[in-house]
Structure 1
Amino acid sequence: MIKTSVLVVGAGPVGLALAMELSYRGIDSIIVDQGDGTVRYSKMGLVSIRSMEFCRRWGIAERVRQCGFPDDYPLNQVFCTSLNGHLISKLDYPGVRDEPTSGLSPEKKQRCPQLWFDPILAKAVSEQNTVSMRYHCLLESFVQDGEGVSATVRDLASDETFTIRAAYMVACDGAGSGVRKSLGIQLEGDHALSYSVGIYLRAPGLAAYHRMGPAERYMLVGEEGTWGHLTVVDARDIWRLTVIGSQDKVESEHFDADAWVRRCFGRDDIPFHVDAVLPWRRSRLVANAYSKGRVFLAGDACHVMAPNGGYGMNTGLGDAVDIGWKLQAVLNGWAAPALLDSYELERRPVAWRNVDAAASNFSLLTPKLSFAGIETSGAAGDETRRNLSYDLSERTRQEWEPHGINLGYRYEGSPIVMPDGTPEPADDPSRYIPTARPGHRAPHVELSDGRSTIDLFGPGFVLLSFGSAELAEPIMAAARTAGLPLNLHCLAEPAAAAAYERALVLVRPDGHVAWRADAAPADPLAMLGQVTASGPPRDRAPM
Structure 2
Amino acid sequence: MHSFTWATPEPPHRCSQLFVEPILLEAARSHDACHVSFGARVVGFLECDGIVTASVECDATEDKPAETKSIKARYLVGCDGPRSMVRKALGIRFEGLSGEKRDFMGGQMDAVYFYAPEIYKISPHKPAWQYWTFSPKQRALIIAVDGQGHFIMNVQMREDEVPDDDTVRRRISEAIGADVPFELKSSSTWTAGFTLVAERFSLGNVFLAGDAAHLFTPTGGLGYNTGIDDAANLAWKLEAMLKGFAGEAMAASYEAERKPSALRNTTFARAFADSIGRVQVPAETFASGPSGTAAREAVGAYLAFHATAEFVIPGVHLGTRYESSPLVAAEPGPVPVDTANLYVPTARPGHRAPHAWLADGRSLYDRFGPSFTLLCTAHHGINASRHQALERAASILPHLAVLNIDDPVVADLYKAAFVLIRPDQHVAWRGEELNEEFVTAALHTVGRVSEGTSAVVDAAA
TM-score by length of structure 1 reads 0.77
Q: Where does the alignment leave 5 or more consecutive residues of structure 1 unmatched?
A: 1-89, 94-98, 539-543
Contact kept in structure 1, 2:249 and 2:326, CA below 8 Å: no
Displacement of 1:192 in angstroms is: 0.6
Using the alignment, how far apart are the partners of 2:50 and 2:148 within structure 1? 52
1:521–1:444 distance in 2 versus 1, CA, 3 Å: same
- 1:373-402 CA-partner distances (Å, limit 9, x unpaired): 211221221122233232222144121211
Aligned AA for 1:240?
I
Using the alignment, how far apart are the partners of 1:324 and 1:277 within structure 2? 35
Aligned match for 1:501, one of 401, 415, 424? 415
Contact kept in structure 2, 1:329 and 1:335, CA below 8 Å: yes
Taking only the aligned residue pairs, the percentage that are identical comes to 33
- The equivalent residue for 1:191 is 98
SS in 1 for 2:350: coil
Aligned match for 1:146, one of 17, 24, 49? 49
Aligned AA for 2:415?
E
Displacement of 1:209 in angstroms is: 3.0
Q: Does 1:236 align with 2:148?
A: yes
Displacement of 1:487 in angstroms is: 1.4
Using the alignment, how far apart are the partners of 1:527 and 1:109 within structure 2? 33
SS in 2 for 1:132: coil
Aligned AA for 1:473?
H
- The equivalent residue for 1:264 is 175
TM-score by length of structure 2 reads 0.90
- 1:351-383 CA-partner distances (Å, limit 9, x unpaired): 111111111111111455451221122122112
Aligned AA for 1:464?
L
Task: Give the alignment of 1:336-351 within 5 angstroms.
Answer: 336-351=247-262
Using the alignment, how far apart are the partners of 1:113 and 1:274 within structure 2? 18
Aligned AA for 1:248?
D
Contact kept in structure 2, 1:447 and 1:453, CA below 8 Å: yes
Aligned match for 1:403, one of 310, 314, 317? 314
Q: Where does the alignment leave 5 or more consecutive residues of structure 2 unmatched?
A: 101-105, 453-461
Displacement of 1:452 in angstroms is: 1.8
Displacement of 1:294 in angstroms is: 0.6
SS in 1 for 2:276: coil
Using the alignment, how far apart are the partners of 2:316 and 2:22 within structure 1? 26
Deviates more, 1:436-445 or 1:186-195: 186-195
Displacement of 1:197 in angstroms is: 1.1
Using the alignment, how far apart are the partners of 1:262 and 1:520 within structure 2? 67
1:481–1:212 distance in 2 versus 1, CA, 3 Å: closer
- 1:410-438 CA-partner distances (Å, limit 9, x unpaired): 11211111112231111110111211111
Contact kept in structure 2, 1:142 and 1:151, CA below 8 Å: yes
Task: Give the alignment of 1:4-19 within 5 angstroms.
Answer: none
Displacement of 1:513 in angstroms is: 0.2
1:451–1:161 distance in 2 versus 1, CA, 3 Å: same
- The equivalent residue for 2:434 is 520
Contact kept in structure 2, 1:338 and 1:534, CA below 8 Å: yes
- 1:91-130 CA-partner distances (Å, limit 9, x unpaired): 124xxxxx67x3x34x332222111110011011111112
Displacement of 1:223 in angstroms is: 4.7
Q: Does 1:317 align with 2:225?
A: no
Aligned match for 1:274, one of 184, 191, 205? 184
Contact kept in structure 2, 1:231 and 1:239, CA below 8 Å: yes
Using the alignment, how far apart are the partners of 1:336 and 1:435 within structure 2? 28
Task: Give the alignment of 1:31-42 within 5 angstroms.
Answer: none
Aligned AA for 1:277?
S
SS in 2 for 1:151: strand
1:523–1:235 distance in 2 versus 1, CA, 3 Å: closer
1:360–1:136 distance in 2 versus 1, CA, 3 Å: same
Contact kept in structure 1, 2:135 and 2:174, CA below 8 Å: no
Aligned match for 1:132, one of 35, 43, 57? 35
Higher radius of gyration, 1 or 2: 2
SS in 2 for 1:427: coil
Aligned AA for 1:383?
A
Q: Does 1:414 align with 2:325?
A: yes
Using the alignment, how far apart are the partners of 2:134 and 2:350 within structure 1? 41
Greater relative contact order structure (CA < 8 Å, 6+ sep): 1
Displacement of 1:288 in angstroms is: 0.7
CA RMSD of aligned residues (A): 2.2
Q: Which has the higher strand share?
A: 1
Contact kept in structure 2, 1:325 and 1:459, CA below 8 Å: no
Aligned match for 2:359, one of 428, 448, 468? 448
SS in 1 for 2:37: strand
Aligned AA for 1:275?
K
Runs of 4+ in 1 over 4 A off after TM superposition: 251-255, 366-370
Q: Does 1:354 align with 2:265?
A: yes
